[in-house]
Amino acid sequence: MKAISFGTLKGGTGKTTTTFSTAGTLKSMGKNVLCIDIDPQANLTSNFGANSDEGLKTILDVFEDDETSPEKVIVSCNGIDLIPSTIKLTGTEMQLVNYPGREYILKNFFEDYKDFFNRYDYILIDTNPSMSILNQNAFIASDAIILVNEAGANSLGGSLIFMDLWEGITKRLRIQNNIKGFLINRFIKRTKMSNDFVECCRNHDRIKDLLFNTIVPVNVKLAEAETENVPINEYAPTATGALSFKEFTKELIERV
Ligand SMILES: Nc1ncnc2c1ncn2[C@@H]1O[C@H](COP(=O)(O)OP(=O)(O)OP(=O)(O)O)[C@@H](O)[C@H]1O
Ligand SMILES: [Mg+2]
């Protein structure tokens, strides 16, 4: 089992789209996938067509109740398992402030139910744009953190500050820095801003070695797939978005 978190400090760069599309692509390659939504906005949960208002148990139960077992919180969504999120998770963050070992709750959950989680080839975790305690749980429990960026639009700053903060946290916690990738999303070939962004990343000392060769273009089918609750590889398998995520997923498998 490999756990991978998608993050950055800027909103709307495509973290959720990347999680959803990569999950679908991994499934199409025959992999057993679990997605975990730890963003209180619960966009990934909506993409899967799950709804926490319908009495579903969610990731909140994992953080707030030590007795929660994985079977209680996992829902199956067309062959991909999901631990959903809920807007109520915002309150959990506040409760965790005084909780001993607060950054290790998710990692301990994986370890306590090791046999259960080892049945998955990949666990993909979608985070919100912050370095919250909830997100730190995701990053600590992961083998790799992938930074998701929007070509242009000040996205670089969001990832560079993320890298600084995470480096400081890993040093204090005496753990390995596990940032293993930098993905460029929402690329528009004809714009100078997009091309300049790619050029800047390819030459950037802190980024060039993390950069994936695959660059994901703006493709409306990616957004449509989400409203239809079907990952891009099933919704529009020949669309540029689907082909890009196929290439990205192959690179990801090799790297993690
Ligand atoms: N390559 C793309 N082409 C077209 N639309 C995209 C692409 N990537 C993302 N989108 C759309 O852009 C919007 C924002 O993407 P997404 O929700 O994945 O960003 P995010 O980083 O998860 O945002 P947040 O920081 O709020 O969690 C969504 O409506 C999504 O469908
Ligand atoms: Mg999101």
Ligand 1 mean position to 53 CA, how many Å? Answer: 23
Would you give per-residue pLDDT tens digits along the chain (256 residues)?
999 999 999 999 999 999 999 999 999 999 999 999 999 999 999 999 998 677 899 999 999 999 999 999 999 998 999 999 999 999 999 899 899 999 999 999 999 999 999 999 999 999 999 999 999 999 999 999 999 999 986 789 999 999 999 999 999 999 999 999 999 999 999 999 999 999 999 999 999 999 999 999 999 999 999 999 999 999 999 999 999 999 999 999 999 9
Tokens standing for residue 163: 């890298």
Instruction: Cite the DSSP H helix spans in the chain.
Output: 15-28, 43-47, 59-64, 70-73, 89-96, 105-112, 114-117, 133-140, 155-173, 192-203, 220-227, 232-235, 240-255
CA 13 to chain centre: 11
Ligand 1 lining (C-beta closer than 6 Å): 11-17, 39, 41, 43, 128-129, 185-186, 216, 218-220, 222-223, 226, 241
What is the tens place of the pLDDT at every residue in 75-89? Answer: 999 899 999 999 999
Dihedral-angle region of residue 174 (phi above 0 means left; psi in -120 to 50 means alpha; beta otherwise)? left
Closest listed residue to residue 21, CA positions, set 181, 188, 179, 230:
230
CA atoms within 13 A on the CB side of 255: 21
Which residue's CA is the closest to the ligand 1 atom numbered 28? 223
Question: Dihedral angle at the C-alpha atoms of 90, 91, 93, 95, nearest 10 degrees?
Answer: 180
Site to probe by mutation for ligand 1, drawn from 6, 8, 9, 17 as the one with most ligand atoms within 8 Å of Cβ, is 17
- In angstroms, the first-to-last Cα distance of the chain is 10
What is the tens place of the pLDDT at every residue in 27-51? Answer: 999 999 999 999 999 999 999 999 8
Buried b (16+ CB within 10 A) or exposed e, 194-219: beebeeebeebeebeebbbebbbbbb
Cβ atoms of residues 210 and 179 within 8 Å = yes
Residue with tokens 């100078």: 192
**Structurally, how many domains does the chain consist of?**
1
> Could you give the CA distance from residue 153 to residue 44 in angstroms, rounded to a whole number?
23
Residue 154: which CATH number?
Answer: 3.40.50.300
Three-class SS state of 221: helix
Cβ atoms of residues 232 and 21 within 8 Å = yes
pTM, two decimals, is: 0.98
